[in-house]
């Protein structure tokens, strides 16, 4: 049906599109939704690894202070429910999964409200505060990246028990895998604690992290993953917390951090090309969010924002997690006027704009 519509639109567009459009729309809306969903579902599942940019609630059940399963987090999520997403609403994997026709939100693997039946169409192993470096996840006692992979192996076993080997292997092979992490390695570890800074220059540290990324992707590939989208760093020097601490720079963006992010992303692109050449069935793509977020930050009013320097939550300068309290009268009422939700994380609106920017590339690559 979709092919037919595309074909019709192509051949009739110049002269007849205005006449035909209402008819085509009628045909499209009268397809029963279940059939439409099945037809537009491009992958059987979306499987997520990373940090708070994509965590949907794994930190709720581990012993860390880095949590967000309380209001005002989630106040614009379905039902106004806090889930453990570091946002007022949804995070990019939710938007991407929806665009691929899979589901509207990706449940966290450790969330007891969901089971293997839910996880068969999408599962998140991400943990807020984690990084490529084991030393980063140690800082706030969150799930290290290697442990995310251990949980994924456990998931594969459960999936095969639940659906049988053949169906499970199909899901594992055809699923879209999303990776998004790296910011914490620099902002929570390298630039905060002396250990890594005495071992590595920042360039060497980038290479150290990308070495871990390479091993991780090779292991994931060996476990059966094929379709992989990797998001590197955003302009992390413009996060409200980094502006707030840029005292001698008049609270502007920290340019050094942004340069480190750009350098890291360029090396990540090289790594992705190399792995695509070396691993014959791998289809890895860079889902680079730097440029779109940079544009939002430089021209916020173009996107309908009123505030880019300070976050919605509390004073908007340093608060996140437990410091981001529902009781704070300073917390904004309309998060969609803000680029950032808390001192470290974008609002749902920003996540949506970034996702809408990445989705066409992903759909084209994994169609």
Ligand X SMILES: *[C@@H]1O[C@H](CO)[C@@H](O)[C@H](O)[C@H]1NC(C)=O
**Within 13 A of 155's CA, how many CA atoms are on the CB side?**
30
**Buried b / exposed e along 229-261 (16+ C-beta atoms within 10 A):** bbbbbbbbbbbbbbbbbbeeeebebbeebbebb
Catalytic residue among 51, 314, 345, 355: 345
Size of the site for ligand X (CB under 6 A): 3
- Nearest approach in angstroms of CB 54 to ligand X is 20
**Which has the closest alpha carbon to 180: 234, 109, 99, 227?**
234
**C-alpha to C-alpha distance for 267 and 110, rounded to whole angstroms:** 32
Nearer Cβ to ligand X (61/212): 212
Identity of the residue, 143 or 175, whose beta carbon is nearer to ligand X in the bound complex: 143
Verify binding: residue 146, ligand X, rule CB under 6 A: yes
Query: What's the DSSP call for residue 189?
Result: I
Which backbone phi and psi does 208 adopt, to 5 degrees?
-60, -45
Contacts to ligand X from residues 110-139, by CB under 6 A: 134
Residue 35 token pair: 């059939």
> Under the criterion CB under 6 A, does residue 27 sit at the interface with ligand X?
no
Question: Which positions from 164 through 223 interact with ligand X, judged by CB under 6 A?
Answer: 212
Give min distance, CB of 48 to ligand X, in A: 20
Is 146 or 365 the residue whose CB approaches ligand X more closely?
Answer: 146
Catalytic, 345? Answer yes
Rounded to the nearest 10°, the torsion over CA 185, 202, 245, 237 is -80
Q: How far is the CB of 146 from ligand X (least distance, A)?
A: 5
CB of 119 to ligand X, least distance (A): 24
Closer to ligand X by CB, 213 or 324: give it.
213
Catalytic residues: 52, 342, 345
* Interacting residue ranges for ligand X, rule: CB under 6 A: 134, 146, 212
């Amino acid at each position: 049906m979709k092919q037919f519509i595309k074909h019709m639109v192509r051949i009739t567009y110049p002269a007849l599109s205005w006449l035909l459009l209402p008819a085509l729309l009628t045909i499209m809306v009268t397809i029963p939704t279940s059939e439409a969903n099945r037809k537009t579902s491009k992958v059987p599942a979306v499987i997520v690894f990373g940090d708070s940019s994509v965590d949907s609630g794994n930190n709720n059940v581990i012993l860390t202070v880095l949590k967000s399963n309380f209001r005002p987090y989630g106040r614009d999520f379905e039902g106004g429910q806090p889930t453990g997403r570091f946002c007022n609403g949804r995070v990019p994997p939710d938007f991407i999964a929806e665009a691929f026709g899979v589901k509207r939100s990706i449940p966290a693997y450790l969330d007891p409200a969901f089971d293997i039946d839910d996880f068969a169409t999408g599962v998140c192993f991400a943990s807020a505060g984690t990084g490529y470096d084991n030393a980063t996840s140690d800082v706030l006692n969150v799930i290290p990246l290697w442990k995310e992979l251990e949980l994924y192996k456990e998931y594969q076993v459960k999936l095969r028990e639940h659906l049988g080997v053949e169906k499970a292997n199909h899901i594992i092979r055809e699923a879209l895998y999303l990776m998004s992490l790296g910011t914490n390695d620099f902002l929570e570890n390298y630039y905060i604690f002396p250990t890594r800074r005495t071992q590595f220059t920042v360039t060497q540290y980038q290479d150290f992290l990308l070495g871990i990324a390479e091993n991780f992707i090779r292991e994931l590939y060996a476990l059966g993953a094929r379709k992989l989208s990797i998001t590197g760093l955003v302009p992390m020097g413009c996060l409200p917390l980094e502006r707030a601490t840029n005292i001698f720079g008049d609270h502007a963006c920290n340019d050094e951090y942004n340069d480190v992010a750009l350098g890291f992303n360029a090396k990540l692109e090289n790594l992705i090309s190399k792995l695509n050449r070396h691993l014959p069935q791998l289809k890895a793509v860079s889902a680079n969010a730097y440029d779109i977020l940079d544009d939002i930050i430089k021209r916020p009013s173009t996107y309908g924002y009123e505030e880019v320097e300070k976050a919605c939550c509390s004073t908007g300068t340093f608060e996140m997690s437990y410091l981001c309290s529902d009781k704070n009268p300073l917390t904004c009422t309309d998060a969609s006027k803000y680029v950032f939700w808390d001192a470290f994380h974008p609002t749902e609106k920003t996540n949506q704009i970034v996702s809408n920017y990445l989705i066409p590339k992903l759909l084209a690559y994994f169609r």
